[in-house]
Amino acid sequence: MTQTPPPGAGVPDVLAPARLGPVTLRNRIIKSATYEGLSRRSLVTDELIGFHVRHAAGGVGMTTVAYCAVAPEGRTERKQILWTPEALPGLRKLTEAVHAEGAAVCAQIGHAGPVADPRSNRLPALAPSRRFHLATASVTRAATRADLERIVRAHGEAAVMAAEAGFDAVEIHLGHNYLASSFLSPKVNRRRDSYGGSLENRARLSREIARAVRDAVGDRIAITAKLNMDDGVPGGLQIDEAIRLARWLEQDGSLDALELTAGSSLFNPMYLFKGEAPLKEFAAAMPQPIRLGMRMFGGLLLRSYPYRDAYLLEDARRVRAAVKMPLILLGGITNKQVMDQAMREGFEFVAMARALLREPDLINRIKADASTESLCIHCNKCMAAIYGGTHCVFTGPLGVRAAGEVPGPSKPPGP
Ligand SMILES: Cc1cc2nc3c(=O)[nH]c(=O)nc-3n(C[C@H](O)[C@H](O)[C@H](O)COP(=O)(O)O)c2cc1C
């Protein structure tokens, strides 16, 4: 006689250890990249180490060092970490400190392309095609074939350095209209060569980068990519094409998992986040002349969207149905119920950003009490803090809750 499986049988426990490629994480919860704004002269600082130690001590399975650029012109701003031999000692100190807290550590690698600030970098921003962009108030330079070869190679070299520095994983940035994602976008990519036009051509750069990273490090570390499902802009990449690309990436075998994201730092940043648009705070944090542009046109760029838990789940379910490779659900994961839902729906991992900026120890609190609710209210004011040390405006730079602060009210359920 066959026994009826207990409810939830076969569904992984989000708090139990899990394999990500060659690495075992202590649980299935990943701190997703939130640009820390804590590097100096493109090198690691003690503040950056402290930031990740707090998240590691707070219970996540893996923390992600945000956006480390593979080329000087690919930094969003000049002080951002760049993969150079001089950066290695600091990165090594960081990975050792995170490991000492029992967490794994991933480095997000990429090229900001048209999102890079050319004034800060003192180099023109690269894009598929030459074009003026309101978000950076500048004209991009069309990448040459030699640029693309150099950038693909640089991703492989960055992954080798990451492995040498002790990282457990790298996450390739294929989202938010950064360089690889801007090639995917029919709106931004107007090329007539083999990198433009059909989806096969627009996807070439992303696939070459993933292949170069795999060829460079093999199975020494895990390799993931953060992939847009929808740019959130008319004429941009949309879910049907993203699904085709996810299938190709799966077939290529270059990646151990895909983290699913959405939105465009060029045209529609709030699509990434949902919730309130922190217009005033953002304008105040921007250097001139972007500040002026932000005051005048910011409302066009930063639109508010209603927030709900697991707000990317609908598109992510479609990707889930199309591929077998491990997937990381991101976007409005704030409590155990939503994490359990993600596991039930077949996602292998969840990734979290704002709720962990609000409370770096949220996962430990959830471990102690599964009914714990996040205190994050999705005001998105943390976004405006990225230029001077990313933090929650309520919690402060050290991620400390106010004395006596208690968990907030429940939010509306997700989809
Ligand atoms: C302050 C801040 C900085 C961010 N920086 C990055 C980044 O450097 N790279 C990246 O891919 N995503 C970045 N993100 C996006 C987050 O990784 C995540 O995709 C997004 O916040 C949605 O997840 P959440 O609902 O858990 O916050 C950032 C988000 C915030 C709030």
112 burial level (CB within 10 Å; 0-12, 13-18, 19+): buried
Domain ranges of the chain: 18-388
Nearest protein CA to atom 3 of ligand 1, as residue:
34
Yes or no: say if 62 and 104 are a contact pair by the CB < 8 Å rule: yes
Please give the Cα distance from 309 to 169 (Å, whole number): 27
Q: pLDDT tens, 131-166?
A: 988 778 889 999 999 999 999 999 999 999 999 999
Taking the CB of residue 199, how many other CB atoms lie within 10 A of it? 16
- Write down the pTM of the prediction: 0.94
Q: pLDDT tens, 277-290?
A: 888 887 887 767 76
Residue 121: the pLDDT is 94
Mean pLDDT in the chain?
Answer: 92
Q: Is the CB of 332 under 6 A from ligand 1?
A: yes
Half-sphere exposure of 249 (CA within 13 A, CB side): 37
Nearest protein CA to atom 15 of ligand 1, as residue:
34
Q: Under DSSP, is residue 89 helix (H, G, I), strand (E, B) or coil?
A: helix
What top-level class would CATH report for the domain 18-388?
alpha beta
Q: Is the CB of 374 under 6 A from ligand 1?
A: no
Any catalytic annotation for residue 307? Answer: no
166 burial level (CB within 10 Å; 0-12, 13-18, 19+): middle
Q: Which of 29, 31, 32 should be mutated for ligand 1, with most atoms under 8 A from CB?
A: 32
Residue 366: the pLDDT is 98
Give the position of tokens 């508010």.
Answer: 304
Smallest CA-to-CA distance from 282 within 274, 269, 291, 271 is with 291
Which entry of 178, 195, 307, 311 is annotated as an active-site residue? Answer: 178
Residue 274 backbone dihedrals phi, psi, to 5 degrees = 60, 165
Low-confidence ranges of the chain (pLDDT < 70): 1-8, 287, 290, 399-415
Residue 250: the pLDDT is 98
The stretches of 114-253 forming alpha helices (DSSP H) are 118-121, 145-164, 179-184, 199-202, 204-217, 239-252
Residue 3: the pLDDT is 46
